[in-house]
A = this chain, B = another copy of it.
Amino acid sequence: MTVRASRAYAAIIGCGRTKFSELWDDSMSDLMLDSLISALKTADIEFKDIEAMFVGNFIAAKIIDQGLVAGELAQSLGTHIPIFRLEGACASAGLAFYNACLGIKSGKFDIVAVTGVEKMTDRGEIVTDALAAAASNWERFYGNTFPGLYANIMARHMYEYGTTREQLAMVSVKNHQHAINNKFAQYPFPIKIDSVLKSPLVADPIRLLDCSPVSDGASSVILCNPEIAKRYTETPVYVTGAGAATDALALFAREDFTGLTATKLAAQQAFTEAKIEQKDVNILELHDCFTIEEVTALEDMKFVEKGEGGPFIGEAVDSFKGSKHIVYPCLSGEIVVNCGGGLKADGHPVGATGSRQICELWEQLVGIAGKKQVDLDTDLTTGVAHNIGGTGGVGSVHVLQI
């Protein structure tokens, strides 16, 4: 066993996902199963090899009136294995993945599955209200909404650091560009800066094309004890760092809201554990629920200095000459962010996003991402996934290495 394997939490041996879209013909169980079966196929194992499942789901109890998702899944699978549902709003699957890693590391389980799922579009009329449950009661009492809260963050960032509307629009432009070759993406087509800037205003200064969509979908990851990973694959991807942190739910209860403390702390932990620096990262999945969040995450994770996220993205997108991916000239290396389109263009079925990010990084690191495979001058060895719940009340960061 390599040094990397010996200090890893777990090894990823397979991943699978559904398309993210409006999937009215599929139930929540259908989506969970579809993604799980795909993941089992890539790992070349059978369901009977899975000893436990960690499920990320935010709000099935409210949107589709189905609580106890674990029992629903057990019934579909005809299984009796332990199934744990983790909930941390949009970070639910990131936190499920984190606990699955602890489950493997503890020695309790050798092989587990992580499945994130959300079924949102059947009940479009209640989904906005339902999601708002992840914001603070006081913020909602005074009429604020999720886009409204991120609009507060965006407006303040623009005010403090001179971040421009154009720079922010470029986050969407970049992520749509990355989704073009992603067959699972909800919006696999390019958009122009002008389309973002002229899209309807949702909560000033956030416009429609700054927002990730409402989606149905599921994604699954198979994790195993790193000591036995080579039995299943020649190319295990190791989880070498796992960070998680929380913050006050309400923006008004924080010292500063031009960045997220949960991101900062989770990244710091994960990077320290993995013994990596920012320059070692080749591919990065950031939680771009709104365009501003990709900017602040780059800053919070110290890929750029505070306040420089906007110009940094702007220059990268401006200098894009039409190859597949827009490459950020990061520190001493190069980095591709949201390789398959991120939340904005790939889609954002809330509880499925954290595990979708892991799927994306796994495909890229193993080199089986097909048409959307990232091609840099250096080998892809290190990926990082950043998953945020609410407006940063919780967050997780994981380091994956091959």
Contacts and interface: CB of A to CB of B under 8 A. Distances in A.
Interface in A195-214: none
Interface in A70-120: 70-75, 78-89, 95, 98-99, 101-103, 105-108
A136 B28 CA distance: 13
Interface residues on A, range: 35 or more
Interface in A261-320: 261-262, 265
B246 A71 contact: yes
Contacts of A137: 65-66
Given A68-B249, A75-B393, A80-B247, 14 more contacts: A61-B61, A62-B62, A67-B133, A68-B393, A69-B87, A70-B393, A74-B394, A75-B248, A75-B253, A81-B246, A84-B88, A86-B86, A99-B99, A106-B106
A394 B66 contact: no
A339 interface: no
Contacts of A62: 61-62, 67
A57 to B, nearest CB: 8
A133 B130 CA distance: 15
B134 A246 contact: no
Q: How many monomers of this chain does the complex have?
A: 2
Interface of A: 9, 52, 58-59, 61-62, 65-75, 78-89, 95, 98-99, 101-103, 105-108, 130, 133-137, 242, 244-250, 253, 261-262, 265, 389-390, 393-394
A248 B84 contact: no
Given A59-B67, A80-B261, A249 B74 contact: yes
Chain A contact residues: helix, strand, loop or mixed: mixed
* Residue of A130, A261, A394 with most partner-chain B CB within 10 A: A394
Contacts of A85: 86-88
Contact of A89 (B68, B84, B133, B393): B68
Nearest to A81: B246
Nearest to A273: B108
